[in-house]
Amino acid sequence: MDGVSGLESGTKAVFPNVTEQRCIVHPLRYFLKYIPTKEKDGFCKDIKRVYGALNAKEAGALSINLRRSGADILVQ
C-alpha cells in the first residue's frame, strides 16, 4: 500500500480479503544510489531474477547470492 495513511484500512473496508503488497520500486531506487554505476546493470539483472523466481525457495536462494554480491559491490 506504499505507506499511504488510510489507504490500507479503506481498501480492507471495501475488499476485506485483499492481500497487501508494498511497491518494490522505491526501495530499489534508493538502494541503487549506493551501487557504483559500472555495477548497476549486473545488480539489476540479479534482482530481476529474484523477483521473477517461480517460487519462494528459488527466490530465497537467489537473494542470498544477491546479498553476497551486493555486499561485495558496496565494500569496493
Q: Which residues have C-beta within 8 Å of that of residue 50, sequence separation ≥ 6?
A: 59, 62, 63, 66
Are the C-beta atoms of 2 and 21 separated by less than 8 Å?
no
- pLDDT the model gives residue 22: 76
Q: What is the pTM of this model?
A: 0.58
Q: Return the top range by mean pLDDT from 10-14, 25-29, 66-70, 71-75.
A: 10-14
